[in-house]
Structure 1
Amino acid sequence: MSDIVNWGVLGYARIARLNVLPAISRAANARLVAVASRDPAKAAECARDFKCERTYTRYEDLLADKDIQAVYIPLPNSMHKEWAIRAMEAGKHVLCEKPIAMNASEAREMAEVSRRTGKLLMEAFMYRYTDRSRRVREVIESGVLGEIRHINATFRFLLDRPNTIKAQPELGGGALYDVGCYPVNFLSLVTGRTPVSCHALAEYENGVDVNLSAVLQYEDGLIANIHCGFNAYGKTFAEVIGTKGMMEVADTFLDFRGGIQVYAKDGTRTIPVAESDRYRDEVADFSAAILEGREPLLTLDETIRNMEVLDMIRAQLKVPA
């Protein structure tokens, strides 16, 4: 049995070009075989810059390639469900960009296809493969914070690229889908649970949310705040406050080195965080899961739970006509 997984990529998107395609080349158990782009010029660019063995101008042709075992999908959010399902039904395992779908119902349908076909499906939250995320879990599991009573998580940046799909509502644009899903996932990382109530507000531009905050409450009373946006200065940050202590996580979703601050009655300490290669490790884990016949790091149960929270938030919003 081969110890290498052959990869194909559906779409020559910015995140694929800058992050995931290079990551596949850095993963010891992965090999880039083919990329499909409906733009022939982009397909040619990919072949040149990444020494890609094969390029296709139709996604269907890549899925018909019998040498490909896994497919990465960086397409617009509105296209995730269709092409993930088509890929699994074509016999490919699927690593799909976040959010995995437009709503929880779509995610459940995709999960059912994964179960029926026996093909792995994982949402690509690359930050979960950082040393920072591992240290967060260690602090939570140690019990040093006591009973968690409040969580606050933020991911925002200034979006200044024209004609981006992030600003197109028909393609699933908006800050909540693009970066708000990270704080929502962070809540899942910390609690492993689904909130029971939600209040949310958003600012809109051209039909998409560009500035959004939500307050969520859990069955035991725990309250969490999430914030996201792309119309002002960037920030990624999280804090977790318990009955015995507090943790501050700067650069929460990034992979460079730094430190996590933990405050408790016995004093303050800094937990060092090592630099990580989050995209490479994501590809490597998913490839290993295929080769070893196991689940990857992020399960579909968690993904569906996160989509349910996104649905809760979206249900609270008043989209301007």
Structure 2
Amino acid sequence: MSSLVNWGILGYARIARMQAIPAIAAAGNSRVHAIASRDAAKLAEACAQVPGAVGYASYTDVLNDPAVQAVYIPLPNSLHRQWAIAALDAGKHVLCEKPLALNAAEAREMTAAARSNERLLMEAFMYRYTDRTTQLRTVLESGVLGKIRHVNASFRFLLDRASTIKMQPELGGGALYDVGVYPLNLLGLIAGDALPVAVHAEGEFDNGVDVNVSTLLRYESGLLATLHCGFNAFGQMGAEIVGTQGRLLMPDPFLGDAGELTLVTAQGTRSIPVVATDRYASQVRDFAAAILQNRAPLLSLDESIRNLDVLDMIRASLKAH
């Protein structure tokens, strides 16, 4: 087998152009073989960005290309299930942008397709590949925080782009799907396999799209978590994890730049340095290596399904109010 994985890109979305395609080029074990766009101008721009890549006017053409081994899906959230299953059925491995699906039922269908076709499927949470997340895991595994009692995590920004799919409910728009899944994923990393026993969410809506959401989740262990997301106010990103023996402050938990975490215990306050990480390239490198080495990638489908189960609970609570 070649030491390079050939990728096909389904759609020349902003994240594909700015993050995924450069990441594939930087990964060292991957290359962009094919790009599809239904927009002729975008397709021409894509092929200019990646000289030598094959340009296709339809996504199906990428799936029918025998040289494509893995597919990256940056499409609107409402299209993730359809095209991930189509790609898996075509024998391709799939790295799908978050959220993996609109709900847990869709994710279970996608997982079944991956397993029946013996292909890898992973949700693209690039922050899980950063040194910041590695340092968080080290702190949690050390037990220095004691029993975790509270998690507070936020991700919001002021959305100022006109005609964005983020404001189109039929395409899976909304703050929860766009940025709320990050604090939720972080909570899942901390809480593990447990599901909350109670969820209460409050939100603000604009033309059928949630633009500001806060959620309180209670777990059987006694853990209480508060998650916040939105795109109708000034940017905010941060997390605080509080245990019986200490607390950990995480500025910018979903970014890959250098910085520091702050650990506070009875022994005092300690800074934990964080080095910069190319999170997108690291994600591609791991997924491609998993293909080449016939192993599982970092994020499991069981985790993605569990988190979407929680997201379903949050969305149900929002509808109930």
TM-score range, shorter chain: over 0.9
Pairing of 1:1-321 with structure 2 (within 5 A): 1-192=1-192, 193-318=194-319
Question: Amino acid of the residue matched to residue 223 of structure 2?
Answer: L
In structure 1, distance between residues paired with 2:14 and 2:172: 16
Contact 1:207 1:319 (C-alpha < 8 Å) held by counterparts:
no
Q: Which amino acid aligns with 1:315?
A: A
What RMSD, in angstroms, separates the aligned Cα atoms of the two structures?
0.9
CA distance in 2, matches of 1:40, 1:57: 7
Q: What residue identity is the alignment partner of 2:216?
A: V
TM-score computed with the length of structure 1 as normaliser: 0.98
The letter for the 2-side match of 1:94 is V
Counterpart secondary structure, 1:179: helix
Q: CA deviation digits over 1:255-292, x for unaligned, max 9? A: 10000000000000000000000000000000000001
In the alignment, the residues of structure 1 paired with residue 237 and residue 320 of structure 2 have an alpha-carbon distance, to the nearest angstrom, of: 25
Q: Secondary structure at the match of 1:166?
A: helix
Deviation at residue 318 of structure 1 after TM alignment: 3.0
Change (3 A) 1:10 1:52: farther
- Give the C-alpha shift of residue 50 in structure 1: 2.1
Q: Following the alignment from structure 1 to structure 2, what is the Cα–Cα distance between the partners of residues 15 and 309?
A: 26
- CA deviation after TM superposition for structure 1 residue 190, in Å: 1.1
In 1: Cα distance, 2:52 partner to 2:45 partner? 10
Gaps spanning 5+ residues in structure 1: where? none
Runs of 4+ in 1 over 3 A off after TM superposition: none
Q: Which amino acid aligns with 1:233?
A: F
**Deviation for aligned residue 1:34:** 0.6
1:158-197 C-alpha deviation (Å, 9 max, x unpaired): 1000000000000000000000000000001112132121
Contact 1:204 1:319 in 2 (8 A): no
Cα distance between partner residues in 1 of 2:71 and 2:317: 34
Q: Is the 8 A contact 1:180 1:229 kept in 2?
A: yes
* SS at 1:316 equivalent: helix
| Residues 246 and 263 in structure 1, CA contact (< 8 A), matched pair in contact too | yes
Aligned length: 320
**SS of structure 2 residue aligned to 1:281:** helix
Instruction: Give, in whole Å, the separation in 2 of the partners of 1:319 and 1:17.
Output: 38
**What's the offset of the Cα at 1:52?**
4.4
The 3-state SS of whatever aligns with 2:31 is strand
Question: 1:28 Cα shift?
Answer: 0.5
CA distance in 1, matches of 2:30, 2:195: 34
Provide the rounded CA distance (Å) in 2 between the counterparts of 1:50 and 1:197: 48
How big is the shift at 1:3? 1.0
Please give the alpha-carbon distance, in whole angstroms, between the structure 1 residues aligned to 2:207 and 2:147.
42
Local SS of the residue matching 2:99: coil
Contact kept? 1:4, 1:30, Cα under 8 Å: yes
The share of aligned pairs that are identical, in percent, is 60
> How far 1:227 sits from its partner (Å)?
0.2
Q: Deviation digits for residues 97-141 of structure 1, max 9, x if unmatched?
A: 000001000000100111100000000000001000000010000
Residues of 1 paired with 2:163 and 2:35: CA distance? 23
Which amino acid in structure 2 is aligned with residue 40 of structure 1? Answer: A
Q: Structure 2: 5+ residue runs without aligned partners? A: none
Aligned-partner SS, 1:128:
helix
Of 44-53 and 63-72, more deviation after overlay is shown by: 44-53
CA distance in 1 between counterparts of 2:93 and 2:306 reads 21
TM-score (norm 2): 0.98
CA–CA separation in structure 2 for the residues paired with 1:194 and 1:51: 47
The amino acid of 2:112's aligned partner reads E
- The residue type equivalent to 2:271 in the other structure is T
